[in-house]
Amino acid sequence: MNSFGKIFRVSIFGESHGQVVGVTIDGCPAGIPVDIDQISDQLERRRSGKKGTTPRKESDIPEVMSGVFNGFTTGAPITLITRNSDTRSSDYEESPFIPRPGHADFTGRIKYSGFSDYRGGGHFSGRLTWGLVVAGYFARKIISPASVSAKLISAGGNNDIEKAITIADGRMETIGGIVECRIDDLPVGLGEPFFLSAESVLSSMVFSIPAIRGIEFGTGFAAASMFGSEHNDSFTDSSGTTETNHSGGINGGITNGNQIVFRIAVKPASSTGVEQNTIDLRSNKSTTIRVKGRHDTLIALRVPVIVESAAAIAFADLLTIDRGINLRSDRYK
């Protein structure tokens, strides 16, 4: 059950150590120019190989399988894949029996009655977010001229992120972080009351990203300590501009034309270099595990482009619900 959206639909498939990871984007307007270099630029932002990320060199090159003709989307489902190459399956030989704490090894094993692909997390791997970034390319075009921008604002509770990485590396540890995302120039009126509120759709997309533990809109958790008249955003003109933006650009689940603002908490990667306690499912006896697979000190470094993509996908769906799949093809020319 791995697809999102009512009209602009995104489905991801693949496994960390299988043949490919891929994505299908359905319900995408025809006439969007497809520039593989632009997609690759976005993917580059998600890649490992930088300080704080795993040295695994992932093959991230996107191959178009369908839905693109003469450089434009055709209106048919768009599928892109990337081959997996730099994988060391032998790192994961014991995974089926000795679940790594914090990972989906245990839950996947039970859910799928022992048939899940456990190598490197299999289908649960963060590598699947490749497909979110690719889908984000199309989503950004759809919501344009709206623009999405996210950045890492703290790591390990520290604003100096370089320093936080150095401390963690010294302990063979991983650390988490906070990412803030802002969206400008969305029209008033996106989102549906209650179950498809802008917050519902955004949060549901954002929690699709592995390692996210919380989300808050506008003033967020701090709102719980404010008085009503302090938290309310006064209107200053009839286009809906507000003096403050405590609501983060959403009223009643509907975009109000001001900047969308939300923050997310990224947990430290579960794969640390430190020895941890776990259980051997064959013997029901305690054992320890030191994760051998290569890993990221600060996965939150990769998250901004993924969150931007997730947010763009969420609003591309809300926009196509509001305005239809097919009416907008002129604007991309």
Binding residues among 44-73 for its own copies as defined by CB under 8 A: 63-67, 69, 72-73
Question: 43, 64 in Cβ contact below 8 A?
Answer: no
Residue 208 lies near its own copies (rule: CB under 8 A): yes
- Of these, 56, 94, 223, 294, which contacts its own copies (CB under 8 A)? 223
Instruction: Write the interaction track for its own copies spanning residues 157-176; mark x where CB under 8 A is met and - where it is not.
Output: x----------x--x-xxxx
DSSP letters, 35-92, are: -HHHHHHHHHHH-S-STTS---------EEEESEETTEE-SSPEEEEEE--S--GGGG
Burial of 30 (C-beta count, 10 Å sphere; 0-12/13-18/19+): middle
C-alpha dihedral, 282 to 286 to 290 to 295, nearest 10°: 70
Question: Binding-site residue total for its own copies (CB under 8 A)?
Answer: 152
Site for its own copies, residues 139 to 158, rule: CB under 8 A: 154-157
Question: 73, 20 in Cβ contact below 8 A?
Answer: no
Residue 236 lies near its own copies (rule: CB under 8 A): yes
Instruction: Write the interaction track for its own copies spanning residues 78-117; mark x where CB under 8 A is met and - where it is not.
Output: xx-x-----------------x-xxxx-xxx-xxxx-xxx
Site for its own copies, residues 291 to 330, rule: CB under 8 A: 300, 320-327, 329-330
Site for its own copies, residues 275 to 294, rule: CB under 8 A: 276-279, 281, 284, 286
**Closest distance to its own copies from the beta carbon of 49 (Å):** 20
Interface stretch with its own copies, choices 40-48, 52-60, 133-141, 237-245 (CB under 8 A): 237-245
Residue 214 lies near its own copies (rule: CB under 8 A): yes
Instruction: Please say which residue, 90 or 234, places its beta carbon nearer to its own copies.
Output: 234
CA 47 to chain CA centroid, Å, is: 13
What residues contact residue 166 under an 8 Å CB cut-off, 6+ apart? none
Instruction: Please say which residue, 140 or 262, places its beta carbon nearer to its own copies.
Output: 262
The two beta strands, 276-280 and 63-66, are unpaired
Instruction: Please say which residue, 106 or 259, places its beta carbon nearer to its own copies.
Output: 106
Question: 151, 179 in Cβ contact below 8 A?
Answer: yes
